[in-house]
């Protein structure tokens, strides 16, 4: 495993809201968490997320054209994501990290792990595994959003069955 320092950018930014959400998540179960962030943090988070999304969008043509060098480059960039790492000090990250709910840490690690694996299998020209890790990445985006970004992505809410139109 590489230094985790590079892997905590999302983690760092999200840790800020986790401080807020912690009390909630402790008292309760798996209930949906909607998160409020200070606006400057939210803006950084969104920038970072936009970059991740651009990474995902750039991956598809690279994958379907077999451009494994490009896949590796993009995936590595995603693995070591960018903005928060530049804006938060390692010390801040550390403090925030300590306040994160374990489930969030897991998701963040999972995400970076999959990005790293994608970079790796592309380097090794393992095509089937490339698709697999692309899928795993997508799944992890969705999983984290479903748990921690419900306000932004309300359609990801676990569906509540409505009996009809009222």
- Binding residue for ligand HEC (CB under 6 A) from 14, 16, 41, 44? 14
43 is a site residue for ligand HEC (CB under 6 A)? no
Residue 132 or 164 with smaller CB distance to ligand HEC: 132
Q: Which positions from 75 through 134 interact with ligand HEC, judged by CB under 6 A? A: 107-108, 111
Q: How far apart are CA 54 and CA 49, in angstroms?
A: 9
4 is a site residue for ligand HEC (CB under 6 A)? no
Tokens at 30, concatenated: 């798996």
Q: Which positions from 126 through 165 interact with ligand HEC, judged by CB under 6 A? A: 137, 140-141, 144-145, 148-149, 151-152
53 is a site residue for ligand HEC (CB under 6 A)? yes
Residue 68 or 144 with smaller CB distance to ligand HEC: 144
Which residue's entry shows tokens 């020209």? 125
> In whole angstroms, how far apart are CA 10 and each of 6, 55, 152, 160?
10, 14, 16, 29
User: CB of 22: closest distance to ligand HEC in angstroms?
Assistant: 15
CB 87 within 8 A of CB 57: no
42 is a site residue for ligand HEC (CB under 6 A)? yes
Who's near 145: CB < 8 A, 6+ residues apart?
A: 152, 153, 156
**Using a CB cutoff of 8 Å and minimum separation of 24, what contacts does 58-66 make?**
59/118, 59/134, 60/134, 63/130, 63/131, 63/134, 66/127
Per CB under 6 A, residues contacting ligand HEC are 10, 14, 35, 37, 42, 45-46, 49-50, 52-53, 56, 107-108, 111, 137, 140-141, 144-145, 148-149, 151-152
């Amino acid at each position: 495993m590489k230094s985790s320092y590079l892997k905590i950018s999302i983690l760092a930014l999200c840790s800020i809201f986790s401080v807020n959400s912690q009390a909630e998540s402790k008292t309760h179960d798996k209930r949906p968490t909607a998160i409020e962030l200070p606006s400057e943090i939210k803006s950084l988070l969104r920038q970072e997320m936009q970059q991740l999304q651009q990474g995902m969008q750039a991956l598809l043509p690279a994958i379907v054209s077999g451009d494994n060098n490009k896949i590796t480059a993009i995936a590595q960039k995603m693995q070591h994501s960018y903005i928060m790492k530049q804006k938060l000090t390692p010390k801040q990250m550390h403090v925030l990290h300590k306040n994160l709910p374990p489930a969030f840490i897991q998701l963040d690690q999972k995400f970076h792990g999959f990005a790293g694996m994608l970079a790796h299998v592309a380097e090794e020209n393992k095509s089937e595994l490339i698709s697999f890790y692309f899928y795993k990445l997508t799944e992890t985006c969705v999983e984290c959003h479903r748990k921690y970004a419900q306000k932004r992505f309300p359609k990801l809410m676990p569906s509540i069955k409505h009996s009809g139109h009222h």
